[in-house]
Every structure is written in C-alpha cells, then in structure tokens.
Amino acid sequence: MNELPKREIIARRIARELKDGFTVNLGIGMPTLCANYIPNGIDVLLQSENGMLGIGPFPIEGDEDPDLINAGKETITEIPGASYFSSADSFGMIRGGHVDLTVLGAMEVDERGNLANWMIPGKMVKGMGGAMDLVAGVKRCIVTMDHTDRAGNSKLLKRCTLPLTGKACVNRIITNLGVFDVVPGGLRVAEVASGVTRDEIAAKTQATLV
C-alpha cells in the first residue's frame, strides 16, 4: 500500500482536532487539506474569510466550479445548507468570537505561543490576509507547518525573529515530527510522529521542551 504524502498525513491529524458542532476556519495551504478528512459522525461548518460557511471536500477533477472558491482561490465544494455572504460579514463572525477553531500555517512559532506567518522583511508581500483577525478573534488557534526550514533550521523557536502576526495566540502546533502544546515555560510534547524519536525532536527544536 502506498504511503500518504507528508502533507496528507498532517491534514488527517489536523482533522482529529475538529469537534462536533464546531465552526472552523482553515488557513491557506496545508490546513485546507483537512476538509477531505473530517471524521464520520461529526458535523463541522468550515468558514472562509471571503464569505462562505459550509465548505465541503475539494472537488473531483472535472467537477470544479470556478465560481466556488476559498480564500486561497482554490476551487471547493459546498455541503447542504451552505451559505454565502460578504467578506465584511465573514470578518464580523471572526471578530465577534463566533468561530471555534482556526488552523493556520506559519513561518515561525515560539515557546510563548507567538506566531509569525505573514511576511519576511525585504520580500514582496501581497497582503496580510485575515490571519491577524483570526488569531485575535477565534477561540482556539492551531498552527501546522514543517518542523524545520529547507536548511534544517528549527521553526519552533525560543523567540520569533520575523514580524509577529499575534502574541501568545497559539495553543497547539502540529508538525511532521509531532504535536506540541504551548504551556508555561515552553512547549510540551503531546505526540510523537511515527518513526520519529524524542531525541530527533530535541535536536531539531530550538524552543524549550518541557
């Protein structure tokens, strides 16, 4: 049996964070993949900043509707009862605390739960998107990303070096090496990925592990 790509494995793990009755915002990139892995028996409403509630799995090739897209401009499907509204109403939901969970990608997260995911100084930025509103208005924030950058440097840091999206806003981090909770004093290892050792995690994590 072929193994799932790393991104799909992480997406399936993210989906386990979804609870029955939740309204959830999935950030651009890897987080959106978890729409394909919502567990059976639970009802979840996926929300998008561009003005949609009730996103379904990604469409089968050939069945795409170019007018039905998420905030990342990817074609999507809708579930029965889906609704559409302005982006102003969408951000009203977010800022009003009506979204239970957001899952976001990141460039850096530090041991205090600070998040940097919107710009690298000196590089062109198309816009900050809705991340700053999400981390301020949503009840729980989970970050998912590769544990290290392409050079092998940890992305789980003692202190973020890039401009922050939000301070002390991250509750849990899911990477290709494991699951980590932000707790007083650092990051607690909640789960270790299959085939990974705690020594490997320690070697690739700059943040304090408690």
- The pair of structure tokens assigned to 167 is 């301070």
Buried b (16+ CB within 10 A) or exposed e, 163-197: ebbbeebbbbbbbbbbbbbbeeebbebeeebeebe
49 carries an active-site annotation: yes
CB-side exposure of 81: number of CA atoms within 13 Å? Answer: 6
Nearest residue to 156 via CA among 123, 100, 120, 110: 110
Name the active-site residue from 3, 8, 17, 49. Answer: 49
Q: For 131, which DSSP code?
A: H
Compute the C-alpha angle 81/82/85, nearest 5°.
Answer: 130
Q: How would you class 155 by CB atoms within 10 Å of its CB: exposed for 0-12, middle for 13-18, buried for 19 or more?
A: buried
CA distances from 179 to 9, 61, 147 (A): 13, 32, 10
| Catalytically active residues, by annotation | 49
